[in-house]
Amino acid sequence: MQDWLYMSAADLGRAIGAGRIDPVALTEVYLDAIDAHEMTPRIYSAVTHSRAKAEAQAASARAQKGQRRGILDGVPISWKDLFDSTGTATEAGSRLLEGRVPARDAEVLANATEAGLVCLGKTHMSELAFSGLGLNPMTATPPCINDADAVAGGSSSGAAASVAHGLAAAGIGSDTGGSVRVPAAWNDLVGLKTTAGRVSARGTVPLAARFDTVGPLTRTVEDAALLLAVLEGRNAVDLRGASLRGVRFAALQSTVMTDLRDTPERAYLAATAKLEDAGALIEPLVAPEIDEAMGLAATLFSAEAYGTWGAVIEADPEKMFGPIRDRFRSGKGVTAPEFVAAWQRLDVLRNVWAARVARYDAVLMPTAPNLPPNAARLLEGGEYYVAENLLTLRNTRVANLMSLPAITLPTGVPSCGIMLCGAAMGEERLLRIAHAAEAALG
Q: Which domains does the chain possess? A: 2-232 (3.90.1300.10), 248-290+332-441 (3.90.1300.10)
Confidence check: pLDDT of 164 > 90: yes
Judge residue 312's burial from the number of C-beta atoms within 10 Å of its C-beta, 0-12 exposed, 13-18 middle, 19 or more buried.
middle
Give residue 381's pLDDT: 81
CA nearest neighbour of 162 among 214, 133, 125: 125
Beta strands in 2-56 (DSSP E): 44-47
Give residue 254's pLDDT: 83
Torsion angle in degrees (nearest 10) through CA of 248, 252, 257, 261: -40
The pLDDT of 338-363, averaged and rounded, is 98
Evaluate whether 350 touches 406 at the Cβ level (below 8 Å).
no
The 3-state DSSP composition of the chain as helix, strand, coil percent (nearest 5) reads: 45, 15, 40
Q: What angle do CA 431, 437, 440 make, to 5 degrees?
A: 150
The dihedral region occupied by 348, where left means phi > 0, alpha psi between -120 and 50, and beta the remainder, is alpha
What is d(CA 290, CA 297) in angstroms, rounded to the nearest whole number? 11
What is d(CA 115, CA 36) in angstroms, rounded to the nearest whole number? 28
Q: Classify 372 as helix, strand or coil.
A: coil
What is d(CA 67, CA 65) in angstroms, rounded to the nearest whole number? 5
Q: What percent of the chain has pLDDT over 90?
A: 99
Phi, psi of 427 (to 5 degrees): -60, -40
**In the annotation, is 122 catalytic?**
no
**In the annotation, is 80 catalytic?**
yes
Give residue 1's pLDDT: 81
DSSP codes joined into one string, 136-148: -TTS--PEETTEE
Confidence check: pLDDT of 281 > 90: yes
CA nearest neighbour of 398 among 266, 275, 254: 254
Torsion angle in degrees (nearest 10) through CA of 260, 261, 262, 264: -80
| pLDDT, tens only, 221-259 | 999 999 999 999 999 999 999 999 999 999 999 899 999
Q: What angle do CA 312, 315, 319 make, to 5 degrees?
A: 85
Evaluate whether 74 touches 4 at the Cβ level (below 8 Å).
no
The pLDDT of 319-326, averaged and rounded, is 97
The pLDDT of 165-194, averaged and rounded, is 99
Confidence check: pLDDT of 2 > 90: no
| pLDDT, tens only, 36-48 | 999 999 999 999 9
Evaluate whether 127 touches 91 at the Cβ level (below 8 Å).
no
What is d(CA 192, CA 409) in angstroms, rounded to the nearest whole number? 9
**Which of 131, 155, 174, 302 does the annotation list as catalytic?**
155
CA nearest neighbour of 165 among 155, 152, 174: 152
Q: What is the mean pLDDT of the chain?
A: 98
Give residue 22's pLDDT: 98
Q: Classify 28 as helix, strand or coil.
A: helix
What is d(CA 306, CA 279) in angstroms, rounded to the nearest whole number? 46
Give residue 11's pLDDT: 98
Residues with Cβ within 8 Å of 217's Cβ and at least 6 positions away in sequence, in order, are: 156, 159, 160, 163, 170, 171, 172, 173, 180, 183, 184, 187, 189, 190, 191
Q: Classify 365 as helix, strand or coil.
A: strand
DSSP single-letter state for residue 85: B
AA identity, residue 59: A
Give residue 379's pLDDT: 96
**Which of 179, 254, 403, 415 does the annotation list as catalytic?**
179
| pLDDT, tens only, 366-411 | 999 999 999 999 999 889 999 999 999 999 999 999 999 999 999 9
Give residue 78's pLDDT: 99
What is d(CA 353, CA 398) in angstroms, rounded to the nearest whole number? 11
Give residue 340's pLDDT: 98
Evaluate whether 437 touches 277 at the Cβ level (below 8 Å).
no
> Residue 23 — very low, low, confident or very high, per pLDDT cuts 50/70/90?
very high
**Which of 45, 60, 78, 80 does the annotation list as catalytic?**
80
> Residue 342 — very low, low, confident or very high, per pLDDT cuts 50/70/90?
very high
Residues with Cβ within 8 Å of 213's Cβ and at least 6 positions away in sequence, in order, are: 174, 175, 176, 180, 193, 194, 195, 196, 198, 199, 201, 400
Confidence check: pLDDT of 73 > 90: yes
Q: What percent of the chain has pLDDT over 70?
A: 100
DSSP codes joined into one string, 181-244: HHHHHHTT-EEEEPPTTTS--TTB--SSTTT-EEEEEESSHHHHHHHHHHHHTSPPPP-TT---
